Amino acid sequence: MVELTSENWDSVVGDNPLVMVDFWAPWCGPCKSFRPIFDQMSQRHRDIVFGTVNIDEQKDLAARFGVQAIPTLKLISDQTVRGSRTGAMPAPELDLLIRKFREVAASPLVPRRS
C-alpha cells in the first residue's frame, strides 16, 4: 500500500495501470473500520496499486477529486478515474467492486468503430 501525496501522485498513478485510492482521515470511524479490509484486499489483488490519501494532510488532492465524504474510493486506470464509491463496505462487496473495476478498466473509453 502506498501513501499518496501531491508530490508522488503523478508518478504512482502514471506508472501503474490500475490504482485504487482510499481517501480517509484519522478521526473518521468508518475509515478506521474499513482500513483492515482495504489492507486485506491490497494483499489479495497485487496487480492493483492500493493507495491512501489522508484528506487532512492532502487537502488539494481531496479538492481535486471532489471528495466530500469519507471514506471515498477512486478507481483509476490509465490515469483516468473509472469509478468512485463512498462509504465503508465489507470485504465481499469490495472484492466484487474490484472485479467490476477490472472489467471497466479493460474496456475502451470510446467504442471502437469497425
Report the catalytic residues: 28, 31
Length of the chain, in residues: 114
> DSSP labels for 55-102?
TTT-HHHHHHTT--SSSEEEEEETTEEEEEEES---HHHHHHHHHHHH
Q: Given phi > 0 = left and psi -120 to 50 = alpha, else beta, which region is 22?
A: beta
